[in-house]
Amino acid sequence: MKVAAKYLMEAVFKMADFFVVRDSLKAKIEADVPEIRRVYFAEDLDGVKESSQNTPAVHVLYQGYSPAQAERLRVDITIDQVWAVVLVLRHARGKYEGGEILDKLIQALHGYQPSGAVMKLELASSTFAPSYRPGVAYYPLAFSTRVINRKGA
C-alpha cells in the first residue's frame, strides 16, 4: 500500500471526534511560532477578560463546514472544515503591529497536514473581520482542511 493511501486509511478510521484537527493546530502553532504566549480554544475564553489575556495569543476557533461530496453508499461523509486562527495583540491607537507574526502563522499552517485530516491546510477566507477594541486587536486568518467521518467509526 502506498504511504499516502495508508495515511488516508489511518485518518479515516481514527476520526472519532468532529473537531479532531484542533489539537494538532494548537501544537503546530506552539512549535513553530514561539512569539505566541498562549493558544486558546473557544471554551478557554469563557469568562476571560480581554485585558487579562496573555498576548500575543491565538484563538483557534471552528468556523464551519461544508459537505465536500455526496457519497453514493452514504457510508463515508467527506467534510471540508474551516478553522479560524485569530491573532490577539495589545493594540496601540493608530499602530499596526503583528504583521510578522501573521506571516509566521501562515507559513506554519498553510500546507501543514493536521492529525486526523486527509488534506493539507489551505489559506481560506475568514468570516471574521479584524476587530479593534480599547487596548486589544484581533487579526483573523482562516484555514480549510478535509476530514472523513466514517459511519460506525
- Boundaries of every domain in the chain: 3-150
d(C-alpha 85, C-alpha 107), whole Å: 13
Mean pLDDT, residues 129-142 taken together: 91
The pLDDT, as a whole number, for residue 77 is 81
Burial class (CB in 10 A: 0-12, 13-18, 19+), 3: exposed
Cis ω on the peptide bond leading into residue 56 (within 30° of 0)? yes
Residue 43 neighbours by CB under 8 Å, 6+ apart: none
pLDDT tens, residue by residue, 26-77: 999 999 999 999 999 988 888 877 777 888 999 999 999 988 765 555 667 8
User: Would you identify the CATH topology of the domain 3-150?
Assistant: STM4215-like (3.30.2000)
